[in-house]
Amino acid sequence: ETNTLPFHPFENQQGDILRMEKEHQVLKEQLKEAEEKFEQLQSRSLEEIGALEELLKKSIEETEVSQNELDWFHQDSETQMKKWQQEKKENRENFKALKSTAKKHSDTNERYLKTIDDKEKQYNVCLNTFLETSNKFANEKGKLEELIKKSQDDSQECEKRAVKAEVSVLQTWKETEIWKLKGTIAKAEGNLRMLKALSSSASAAPVLKSQIDSWEIFIANVKKQLEKVEAEYDEKIELVKNGARNCLSKVEIVDVPFP
């Protein structure tokens, strides 16, 4: 039974180990061949890598130089860009302001033109109205001047008549008051004469002396009042004749009581 049955657990069936040894040998040969190819490839790759590293080093140096130049260029470009953007912004704002100012001036100009047209129309209307009114007023002025002249003449005449009337009234008041006062004086003088006649007797003289004195004082006071009234009325009459106003009032008279 030796080598006739499968050798467990390495074989599932007879001949598996031999088959595995053959496959292992084949794999070893393939591995050796692969190792040789790998060594060849590795050698060639190392050479290529060395060449590529030299090339890369050179490229890096050139890239650094180019990067510095590119950085300088970027910085200059950024500076120029910022400057250009600022100028663009300022130009845009200036343009916007100029556009707004131009529109404002245009609107103002149109408004002024419209206002000028309206004012010119109003001026023409007012001029026509003024000419018509001026002609009308010129005619009315002539009529009014005639009326004014006539009114002035009438006013002067009325003023003369008014002055004459006021003088007449004052003269009448003066004569009336003088007549009253003179009548009072005459009556008092009559009483005084009667008393003096009665006092001729020796017995009545002491009794009537005080009454005679009273009547003489009374007559003197009334005469002063008469002079005052006559002078004040004459003054008022002269003022009215000279053109004064508000002089038409009676002279105040103080009543002197009878003894």
Q: What pTM does this model have? A: 0.42
The pair of structure tokens assigned to 180 is 């009253």
- 115-165: pLDDT as tens digits: 999 999 999 999 899 889 888 888 888 889 999 998 888 888 888 888 888
pLDDT value of residue 26: 93
Alpha-carbon gap, residue 215 to 251, rounded angstroms? 25
Rounded CA gap, 21 and 122, in Å?
Answer: 129
Q: Give the pLDDT band (50/70/90) at residue 205.
A: low
Domain boundaries, the chain: 160-242
What integer pLDDT is reported at residue 186 of this predicted model?
93
Structure tokens at 40: 């060849």
What region does 212 belong to: left with phi over 0, alpha with psi -120 to 50, or beta?
alpha
